[in-house]
Amino acid sequence: EVQLLESGGGFVQPGGSLRLSCSASRSTSGRHAMAWVRQAPGKGLEWVSTIDYNGGRTYYAESVKGRFTITRDDAKNTLYLQLNSLRAEDTAVYYCAQVSWPTHFDFWGQGTHVAVSS
């Protein structure tokens, strides 16, 4: 079992940027694909982005394509999500999750809050 811990959330104005991090408790070799899933206040879960086991392929929801970038640094056991051109509708708790490729998310972090407001 892997423990995931997100960080980097905060308050930002529209048009601003943030970088989220997700630290894994063990080495990601034996690597897994990883993903970000978000949840707006009082709403359901929305998949945001996935990166494959070696960072070679990335996938994005239409709602964030061109604005968000997912990367990984396996030497640091860390997943990242760069959020640019933020909008009010990006306000959410952002969870990182391990992907049991390609079908489902088997381990989740506790989430980090992102609030976009003027």
Partner 1 sequence: EIVLAQSPGTLSLSPGERATLSCRASQSITSTYLAWYQQKVGQAPRLLIYGASKRATGIPDRFTGSGSGTDFTLTISRLDPEDFAVYYCQQYGSSLWTFGQGTKVEIK
Residues at the site binding partner 1, with contacts judged by CB under 8 A: 35, 37, 44-47, 50, 59, 61, 95, 100, 102-111
As measured in angstroms, the least distance from the Cβ of 82 to partner 1 is 20
What is the CB-side half-sphere exposure of residue 29 using CA atoms within 13 A? Answer: 3
CB atoms within 10 A of CB 103: 7
As measured in angstroms, the least distance from the Cβ of 95 to partner 1 is 6
The C-alpha atoms of residue 56 and residue 93 are separated, in whole angstroms, by 26
The C-alpha atoms of residue 97 and residue 66 are separated, in whole angstroms, by 21
Closest CB to partner 1 among 53 and 108?
108
As measured in angstroms, the least distance from the Cβ of 100 to partner 1 is 7
